[in-house]
Amino acid sequence: MAGVGHSSFIQDPMPKKAKPFKPVPKRFHPGSLPILYEDHDILVVDKPSGLLTVSTDRESDRTAFAYLMDYVRKGQAKSRSRVFIVHRLDRETSGLLVFAKSEESKRWLQQEWAEFNKTYFAVVRGHLAEKSGVFSSYLAENGVHKMVSVKSSDLGKLAKTAYKVIKESKAYSLLEIELMSGKKHQIRVHLSDQGHAVVGDKKYGQDEKGTKRLMLHAGSLTIKHPYTEEWMTFSSNAPHYFDALMKGPNA
């Protein structure tokens, strides 16, 4: 797993020159939300587990969106600067999260999002029979706001999840997962369907004692810049508690 904050660039033959950008003073940086990259058009952050991407009826202030809005406005509520939501991570999922800094950049990124490479890391209980492969099913949301696999395209939307086992202990497996589609909760549903739910997943798995966090991390993201059209790859280490679980006394 690559180090937090690393990025690489693959230049097109004649890339556009990046727009001038003046960084926001460090005193305005949100301490609990590391900013890995920022320019005139985008922001990339490393979201911790437990932090919402956007507000809910119960929580409006402690979200990645709220922190970054305050950051780009430098604490001035009347500032016209703002950020725009491109995609989301579940509250319990940690890792890479991209925000746009204009409506135009947001629309461009969302239109191209399916073409970008998204890689996750997950710890599951037990060992998968096949060490690599692709899970595929049609997903639909049931009456209790839970995603489930259904039998046909008439009932749900196709979701594909590629996986590779990269480490095993006696009790757990560490997986590298590539999203081949972008359906709600698809990684969690597909692994649960196989009898290997993500550790700590109380919605689709078991309420395991001693496991307070969901072991799912958005670890690598390759996108094309909305203005320069350069390919950019960002990476983030899985949190320390992934290794702690894999090497722990119950592993």
**Partners of 196 in the β-ladder:** none
CA 121/CA 141 separation, integer angstroms? 24
Q: What is the pLDDT of residue 61?
A: 72
Kindly name the residue from 41, 46, 90, 201 that is annotated as catalytic.
Answer: 90
How many residues are listed for the chain in this entry? 251
Residue with tokens 């991390």: 217
Q: Kindly state the helix (H) or strand (E) to which residue 84 belongs, with its residue range.
A: strand 84-85
Dihedral pair phi/psi, residue 65, rounded to 5°: -60, -45
Looking at residue 76, its pLDDT comes to 75
Place of tokens 């990684």: 187
201 carries an active-site annotation: no
Among 251, 244, 239, which Cα is nearest to 172's?
251
CA distances, 78 to each of 42, 69, 70, 73 (Å): 21, 11, 11, 8
In order of their start, the domains of the chain are 24-115 (3.30.2350.10), 117-220+240-251 (3.30.2350.10)
- Residue 49 sits at the vertex; the CA angle it makes with 124 and 182, to the nearest 5 degrees, is 65
Q: Check residue 2 and give its pLDDT.
A: 42
Contact 190/128 with Cβ under 8 angstroms? no
pLDDT of residue 45: 97
Q: Cα separations (Å) of 107 from 5, 166, 182, 230?
A: 25, 35, 16, 17
pTM over the 0.85 mark: yes
With CA atoms as reference, report the closest residue to 126 among 186, 75, 168: 168
Per-residue pLDDT tens listing for the chain (251 residues): 444 455 444 445 556 777 778 877 778 888 789 999 999 999 999 999 999 999 876 766 789 999 999 999 886 777 888 999 999 999 999 999 999 999 999 999 999 999 999 999 999 999 999 999 999 999 999 978 899 999 989 899 999 999 999 999 999 999 999 999 989 999 999 999 999 999 999 999 976 666 778 999 999 999 999 999 999 999 999 999 999 999 987 77
What span, in angstroms and rounded, lies between the C-alpha atoms of 227 and 4?
24
Round to whole Å and give the CA distance between 233 and 55: 28
Given this model, what pLDDT does residue 57 score?
67
In angstroms, the CA 138 to CA 163 distance is: 18
